[in-house]
């Protein structure tokens, strides 16, 4: 093999775009030919240097400037543009809706799955446990928060514990609900759709609680009395739990409510954009004596935040997490302590969030399909169960990833250098 031919293959070799036989050729050649080896090293180094260039973000005014230009385009003067602008100004409110929507999304997903499960006659206890576990983890993760988050943490842990203890009882309750529902269906033969009621009820109720801000009323099943009564009651009790008062019997739903609980109200903040992760780097030159120690945990705690990592040695910095809506207040407090120099960085994670949700959705679909299949053929149970468990593990992981992203949206990361 001539060196010239090898050189032509080096670039696709770097990108893993060669066939396996060609890969062998290249590797064997550069192992013995010093010139080609050097050529490869240099090429690779050049590529790495370009890949190592930092990401360049558009300046903060870029987006607004562009929108203004778009608004003033003559050909595309969009209908009722004043309304559009008013709506844009109200985007602070938008973001609350978004946070609620995440809860809603999970609620509907799991509700649909729960009903689907009952159809298949499986209790889905493994899944319930995994969700419970999940919340336990969250409790720990946010457990470092100072101050009044303690109560929330306790609630979350109690809820998770309840969930595990109640699993067996739930199975029984499930059967009971199933019987009730069957009876209802016999009476009300026009409505064959079993999965829909739960979904529509939860939908409606969440919508009510979101719009009015009051505790939802339990009469949601009104216009659909027969088949939705059982599901409606369950869901409405869930919403009571959502307000921070877990009720013993409805472990499954109160678990879903927990995320909102333990993030606390501060987490649903005045974010003025779509999901974006904010990162600030602040250098603080203290007015006071250098050896005067500031309790950053308490300071961040006053703004609903917490210390993520502490500096281990000089030259390192504090990583604080503060709810996005409270960052301004926190910065003001920093200004009182000394001279502050701030660099801000906002990373749009809408795409990441979307991917994570799509994946979660897909996994839950798969799970539903698997459960539906398993109902017909009991002999392949062992194989099916293992597959289902693996799938559920993935779902839990995915939910965690989603929570992580959500945390980046809710809590700004502040890298704080103290001089």
Q: Are 220 and 100 in contact (CB under 8 A)?
A: no
Instruction: Give residue for tokens 């290249």.
Output: 26
Q: Which residues, numbered 394-413, are part of the site for another protein (CB under 8 A)?
A: none
Minimum CB–partner distance for residue 70 and another protein (Å): 6
CA–CA gap between residue 339 and residue 85 (Å, rounded): 37
Tell the smallest beta-carbon distance from residue 54 to another protein (Å): 5
Under rule CB under 8 A, residue 389 binds another protein: no
**Residue 273 near another protein by CB under 8 A:** yes
Select the residue interacting with another protein from 24, 78, 89, 362 (CB under 8 A): 78
Pairing of strands 318-323, 276-286: unpaired
23 is a site residue for another protein (CB under 8 A): no
Site residues for another protein, 45-74, by CB under 8 A, read: 45-59, 62-63, 65-67, 69-71, 73
- CB of residue 127 to another protein, shortest distance in Å: 23
In whole angstroms, how close is the CB of 122 to another protein at the nearest point?
Answer: 29
How near is the Cβ of 348 to another protein at its closest, in Å? 6
Q: How far is the CB of 270 from another protein (least distance, A)?
A: 18
Question: Considering the rule CB under 8 A, would residue 417 count as an interface residue with another protein?
Answer: yes
Residue 16 engages another protein in binding (rule: CB under 8 A): yes
- We find the least distance from the C-beta atom of residue 309 to another protein, in angstroms, to be 10
- Answer for which of 203, 281, 366, 373 binds another protein (CB under 8 A) is 281
Cβ-based nearer residue to another protein, 173 or 409: 409
Q: What is the dihedral of CA 364, 161, 411, 393, to 10 degrees?
A: -30
Nearest to another protein of 43, 126 (CB atom): 43
Residue numbers 301-360 binding another protein by CB under 8 A: 315-317, 343, 345, 347-348, 350-351, 353-354, 357-358
Collect all residues with Cβ–Cβ distance below 8 Å to 288 and sequence separation of at least 6.
337, 338
Cα 286 from chain centre: 37
For residue 258, give every residue at least 6 positions away whose Cβ sits within 8 Å of its Cβ, in sequence order, or none.
135, 138, 155, 156, 159, 160
Q: Find the binding residues for another protein in span 87-106 (CB under 8 A).
A: 87-88, 98, 101-102, 105
- Which residues of the chain form contacts with another protein (CB under 8 A)? 8, 10-12, 14-17, 42-43, 45-59, 62-63, 65-67, 69-71, 73, 75-76, 78-79, 81, 84, 87-88, 98, 101-102, 105, 273-274, 279, 281, 283, 315-317, 343, 345, 347-348, 350-351, 353-354, 357-358, 415, 417
């Amino acid at each position: 093999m001539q060196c010239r031919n090898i050189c032509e293959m080096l670039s696709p070799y770097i990108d893993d775009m060669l066939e396996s036989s060609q890969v062998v050729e290249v590797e064997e050649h550069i192992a013995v030919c010093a010139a080609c080896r050097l050529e490869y090293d240099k090429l690779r180094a050049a590529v790495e240097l370009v890949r190592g260039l930092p990401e360049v973000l558009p300046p903060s005014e870029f987006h607004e400037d562009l929108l203004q230009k778009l608004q003033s385009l003559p050909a595309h003067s969009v209908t009722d543009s004043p309304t559009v602008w008013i709506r844009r100004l109200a985007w602070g409110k938008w973001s609350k809706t978004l946070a609620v929507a995440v809860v809603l999304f999970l609620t509907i997903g799991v509700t649909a799955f729960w009903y689907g499960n009952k159809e298949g006659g499986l209790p889905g206890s493994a899944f319930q446990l995994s969700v419970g576990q999940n919340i336990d983890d969250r409790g720990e993760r946010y457990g470092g928060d100072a101050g009044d988050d303690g109560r929330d943490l306790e609630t979350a842990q109690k809820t998770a514990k309840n969930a595990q203890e109640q699993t067996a009882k739930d199975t029984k309750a499930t059967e009971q609900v199933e019987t009730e529902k069957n009876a209802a269906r016999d009476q009300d033969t026009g409505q064959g759709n079993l999965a829909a009621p739960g979904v529509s009820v939860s939908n409606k109720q969440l919508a009510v609680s979101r719009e009015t801000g009051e505790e939802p009323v339990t009469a949601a099943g009104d216009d659909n009395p027969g088949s939705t009564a059982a599901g409606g009651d369950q869901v409405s009790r869930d919403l009571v739990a959502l307000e921070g008062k877990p009720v013993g019997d409805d472990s499954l739903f109160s678990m879903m409510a927990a995320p909102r609980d333990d993030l606390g109200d501060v987490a649903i903040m005045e974010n003025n954009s779509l999901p974006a992760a904010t990162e600030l780097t602040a250098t603080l030159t203290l007015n006071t004596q250098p050896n005067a120690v500031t309790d950053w945990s308490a300071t961040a705690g006053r703004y609903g935040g917490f210390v993520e990592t502490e500096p281990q040695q000089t030259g390192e910095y504090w990583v604080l997490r503060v709810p996005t809506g409270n960052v301004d207040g926190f910065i003001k407090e920093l200004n009182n302590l000394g001279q502050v120099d701030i660099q801000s960085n906002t990373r749009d994670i809408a795409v990441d969030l979307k991917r994570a949700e799509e994946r979660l959705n897909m996994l839950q679909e798969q799970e539903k399909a698997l459960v539906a299949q398993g109902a017909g053929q009991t002999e392949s149970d062992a194989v099916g169960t293992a597959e289902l468990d693996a799938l559920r593990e993935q779902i839990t992981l995915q939910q965690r990833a989603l929570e992580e992203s959500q945390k980046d949206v809710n809590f700004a990361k502040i890298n704080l250098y103290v001089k």
